Structure 1
Amino acid sequence: MMKEMNMDRRVYEAAIKGDVRALRELIQEDELVLDRVTLNCFHETPLHIAVMRGHVEFARELLGRNPKLAAELDSRKSSPLHMASVGGDLEMVKLLLSADPEMCLASDRDGRNPLHLAAMKGRVEAVKELLGVQPAAVQQRTVSGRETVLHLCVKHNQIEALKTLMVTVERQIIDEIMNATDSDGNTILHLAVSDKQIEIIKHLLSISQIAVNSTNENGYTALDVLAQGLKKDTNDFEIGEMLRDAGALRAKEISTTHHHHQPRTTTTNNNHQTPAGDWLSRKRDSIMVVASLIATMAFQAGVNPPGGVWQENSESPQPHKAGEAVMAYNHAKAYRYFIKTNTTAFVASLSTILLLISGLPFRRRPFLWGLMVIMWLAVTTIALSYGIAIVIITPKQYRAQLSNVIQISVTVWCCVMSLLMFGNTVRLIFMWMKKKKKGKINVSWPQNKPSTATSVFTNV
């Protein structure tokens, strides 16, 4: 027994070193050593060790002596092919596939086959090799999350592996799994939007077969997932525009569309037919993101004003308490203006967020115009807060020059805001007059067609 255990240990030591000569000497001493190692092993076999260390020649010698080693699994139910696929060792992958091609379909403890692992790690060449030997592996799903290999590519941000799968796999099979859902009902587009993977989103939206309005278990489309995200940043604008251009809708917009038999459409620059209110929805989503960012900035500036706060209590020479703003003592007048403008920006942005989530009919232009006015106020006041803060923290010798720049900037900014508000107000009045004129024409219709007249007014 001790001799057998010593032989087994020597086999593993040879596998770690990749010593083919030592392996051959051990087999000469005991022809059954590999069979015994296979029977007694409940963890990694010598082949697993050789694969992990990248010893191709040693692995070839093992498989030549005992091909069944290719099908042996470790404690996590991982085969040597699983490990080779993770490492992306193409020569090792080819060797193991030639020994047992069926191991392409073997699943580990999490239900992942070698193709899944190669895709998760972005091992593109290994992905191609595995697909060439066993294309059916692409249709298998993981056990826990019911994820396809495409889900795993997106989840681990492996765009090259995703593109390789899209090109290599038969179109019929790709079409079947492209819009497949995981255990939470998420498609690959849901996952890409949730993680804000812009390159993957662009690639997916370029494929005509992608279902942009598929809903998950929560009833959310990809556009809903973007709107529900807690962390807002500038990428939200670009992603939202890409989704809208591809015809994506919010779930509630889909419900509204289904209730109308003949929804109005407008033609966009790329010749897609989109609902007439889409531009209103795009602006609404953009306003939500901007309002969140302004609220965050205003909050941070309010609790941590320029110059910071006193760190301790003091009775002399300038009495103050810990936690109070330094700026309030050294620049009292400027601090009052700073607090007013910053608080206005904070309240205006919070009001905008509250209005957007209130469920009011913001597809109507007058409501949207009111929102835009509030946002202009928020943007302007946060800009004024910045101007006050930057003047206070600038040394006196540079303050005169900086004040001139800020005065010019504020003047230009106010002029631009005034022009925008004037232009939007005129456009709103013009559209109201136009609708009023149409309304007069509709009133003169025959009295025996009330439903038609009503539909005209309600759809304006």
Structure 2
Amino acid sequence: MAEKKLYDAARIGDVATLQQLLQTNQHLLDVVSFPCLKNVLHIAINQGQEGIVEEVLKINPELALELDSKNASSLHLAAARGNVGIAKRLLAIAPEMCWWQDGHDMNPLHVAAMKGNEAVLEEMLQLDILPATVRLHRGQIVLHLCVKHRQLRTLMVLVAKLDNLVNAKDDDGETLLHFAVMVNQLEIVEYLKENTKLEKLTKNSTGKTALDILNESFRYTSTYTKMKKILKKYSYQSIFQHLPRYTEMTMVAAVLIATMAFQAAVSPPGGVWQDDTKDETTGLITRHAGFAVMATKHPKTYKNFIAANVLSFISSTIAILLLSTAGSSDRWLFVSVSTCFVWVSMAAIGATYGASLVMTNPNMVEFAFRNVVFIVLSIFVPVIYYLFISKVMGKRVDKIKPNCVNVRVDQ
């Protein structure tokens, strides 16, 4: 009879009855256990009866440390209920409960995040942020849990605290964005698009991006058009994410070409005259020491050689100037212009190489410089064209992929 009265008092929040029962039997809280190994504190927390919780904790704070049949602590129950007042009282008694794991290997922060109780979550994060970094089933983190259970508010709270984990992958290589698409959450995708730290084109273990998953599984949903528009923008944004690396590679190419052009100018093919040579009749110097031999033997081809070499050197140095002054910024225009100058310098250095062959190879004496230019352009232009075509075709791949995928959303 006393157990039934105690249960009812805890359920409805009757503090007076609870006090009366404890005056009759002061050990009642210690000996009474309800189904599923729940004590009176668990019952009161489940019903949100803060007055009963306060009274019980005054009398026997040790009850806060007891677990129920699911291995859940009283803080797990408060996190699921979303009662901030109760959570504060429990944390004051045993703050280490933030680390305790229930039968599903989830701590109270995981439970609060999954249930969307951001007030309780913020209270626990103020005390200790590290429990939120504990990995869950298949390597998932609490951010994955928020997305899977469509809890945008708790996701926002956690991202503000754990922004360094927004790119975390689970054991299948899937990120927050993969999960957001798999549960068809347009609202979360829209939120994630604003996060500059999120790597939005990451592929999972099967080589699929979030856009691939969308195209394969959600093509006929009402959110498809809006979600696809957001995800396609990421392909353009990725250019800027990889801009520093691209700038570095372009700079290396420009420096290498400038070095080659400079070397060709100071050490022309065929070498230079070592001594002055005078005309015996007039006494005038016809060959000056240090002048290119080919300037005398093949004057026309040598002029073209010098023109191509100068063009290559100037183009590459302009590219170096642009990259060194603005390449580290997020201005794609500077890198685009620099890339064009590098392309020009590549073509010009190719023509310089061809002219060198013509002037130094006896079998190519009659080979005109215009033929060299034609060969260089016939190779160079198709390659550049292919690069552009491959980019365009790459954006259309999603249209020819099979419309099927295995979507996995674990509990």
**TM-score normalized by structure 2?**
0.57
Alignment of 1:315-394 (within 5 A): none
Residue 456 of structure 1, CA deviation: 4.0
- Taking only the aligned residue pairs, the percentage that are identical comes to 32
1:157 maps to: 150
Please tell me whether the aligned partners of residues 143 and 176 of structure 2 are also in contact (alpha carbons under 8 angstroms): yes
Q: CA deviation at 1:42?
A: 5.5
Cα shift readout 1:34-64 (whole Å, capped 9, x = no counterpart): 22336x9852111010111121111111111
Asked whether 1:208 is paired with 2:136, we answer no
Give the corresponding residue for 1:19.
Answer: 14
List runs of 5+ in structure 2 lacking aligned partners. Answer: 251-329, 337-369, 389-411
1:11–1:23 Cα contact (<8 Å) kept = yes
What's 1:148 paired with? 141
Q: Distance in 2 between matches of 1:30 and 1:153?
A: 45
Q: In structure 2, what is the equivalent of residue 452 of structure 1? A: 380
Name the CA distance, whole Å, in 2 between partners of 1:73 and 1:203: 37
> Over aligned residues, Cα RMSD in angstroms?
3.5
Count the aligned residue pairs: 269
In our comparison, the structure showing a higher alpha carbon Rg is 2
Cα shift readout 1:261-317 (whole Å, capped 9, x = no counterpart): 88xxxxxxx9768xx9xxxxxxxxxxxxxxxxxxxxxxxxxxxxxxxxxxxxxxxxx
Q: Which residue of 2 aligns with 1:116?
A: 110
The answer on 1:54 being equivalent to 2:48 is: yes
Q: Does 1:182 align with 2:170?
A: yes
How far apart, in 2, do the equivalents of 1:212 and 1:152 lie?
Answer: 18
Match of 2:24 in 1: 29
CA distance in 1, matches of 2:176, 2:372: 53
Q: Using the alignment, how far apart are the partners of 2:371 and 2:178 within structure 1? A: 47
- Deviation sequence 1:174-199 (CA, Å, 0-9, x none): 21x21112243211110112233222
Deviation at 1:134, TM superposition (A): 2.1
Contact 2:32 2:39 in 1 (8 A): yes
Q: Is the 8 A contact 2:201 2:234 kept in 1?
A: no
Between the aligned partners of 1:84 and 1:443, the Cα distance in structure 2 is 82
- CA positional deviation for 1:31: 3.0
1:193 is matched with which residue: 163, 167, 181? 181
Does 2:85 align with 1:85?
no
Q: Name the SS for the 1:207 alignment partner.
A: coil
Structure 1, unaligned stretches of length 5 or more? Answer: 1-5, 263-269, 277-441
Q: Which amino acid aligns with 2:186?
A: I
1:156 CA drift (Å): 1.7
CA deviations on 1:375-406 (whole Å, 9 max, x unpaired) are xxxxxxxxxxxxxxxxxxxxxxxxxxxxxxxx
Q: CA deviation at 1:206?
A: 0.9
Q: 2:70 aligns with which of 73, 76, 79?
A: 76
Change (3 A) 1:95 1:219: same
CA distance in structure 2 between the partners assigned to 1:101 and 1:271 by the alignment = 49
Residue 125 of structure 2 is aligned to residue 131 of structure 1: yes
- Evaluate the alpha carbon distance shift between residue 456 and residue 216 of structure 1 in structure 2; reply closer, same or farther with a 3 A threshold: closer
Give the conservation status (yes or no) of the 8 Å contact 2:114–2:146.
yes
SS at match of 1:196: coil
- Alignment-derived partner of residue 230 in structure 2: 242
Deviations, residues 401-457 of structure 1 (Å, cap 9, x unaligned):
xxxxxxxxxxxxxxxxxxxxxxxxxxxxxxxxxxxxxxxxx9873547875365245
Instruction: Kindly provide the amino acid, as one letter, of the partner of residue 30 in structure 1.
Output: N
> For 2:331 and 2:222, how far apart are their aligned partners in 1?
27
- 2:39 is matched with which residue? 45
Hey, what's the Cα distance between the residues in 1 that align with 2:8 and 2:222? Answer: 55
CA contact (8 A) 2:45 2:86 kept: yes
Higher relative contact order (CA 8 A, sep 6+): 2
In structure 2, what residue type is equivalent to 1:210? L
- In structure 1, distance between residues paired with 2:167 and 2:98: 24
> How far 1:139 moved relative to its partner?
0.7
TM-score if structure 1 supplies the norm length? Answer: 0.52
Asked if structure 2 preserves the Cα contact closer than 8 Å seen for 1:221 and 1:249, the reply is no
Checking the alignment, whether the CA contact within 8 Å between 2:70 and 2:102 is kept in structure 1 is yes
Give the conservation status (yes or no) of the 8 Å contact 2:218–2:224: no
| 2:16 partner amino acid | R
CA contact (8 A) 2:173 2:205 kept: yes
Counterpart of 2:26 in structure 1: which amino acid?
E
Superposition deviation, residue 243 in structure 1: 1.7
Runs of 4+ in 1 over 4 A off after TM superposition: 6-10, 270-273, 446-451
